[in-house]
Amino acid sequence: NFMLTQPHSVSESPGKTVTISCTRSSGSIASNYVQWYQQRPGSAPTTVIYEDNQRPSGVPDRFSGSIDSSSNSASLTISGLKTEDEADYYCQSYDSSNRNWVFGGGTKLTVL
């Protein structure tokens, strides 16, 4: 079993770039794909990145994902920040050993 750890909150100004990290506690981050979900207040989550770095249709290319084996972490980068990007962001991966899906604790992004 592993955990995914995210910073509790990040903030940045409109037009800037922000990166949210997601660190896997054990096992390789590259073992299973990482997904990222955006959740605005009062709404269900929606996918912004799947399979480490793929964007669903309709998600702007300001959103990008990557993994770094040296830090055993995944990252979500949002460039050209807009006020509408203000939301909670969750990373998610899969534990093959017990067929459980694992979520990070979520990061609150404030754009101010």
Interaction site with another protein (CB under 8 A): 1, 32-33, 35, 37, 44-47, 50-51, 56, 90, 92, 94, 96, 98-106
Nearby residues of 84 by Cβ (< 8 Å), 6 or more positions away: none
How many CA atoms lie within 13 Å of 35's alpha carbon, on the beta-carbon side?
14
Cβ proximity to another protein, 49 vs 111, nearer residue: 49
Rounded to the nearest 5°, which phi and psi values hold at 61?
-75, 5
**Cβ neighbours of 47 (radius 10 Å):** 15
Least CB distance from residue 99 to another protein, whole Å? Answer: 4
Cβ proximity to another protein, 37 vs 63, nearer residue: 37
Cβ proximity to another protein, 17 vs 25, nearer residue: 25
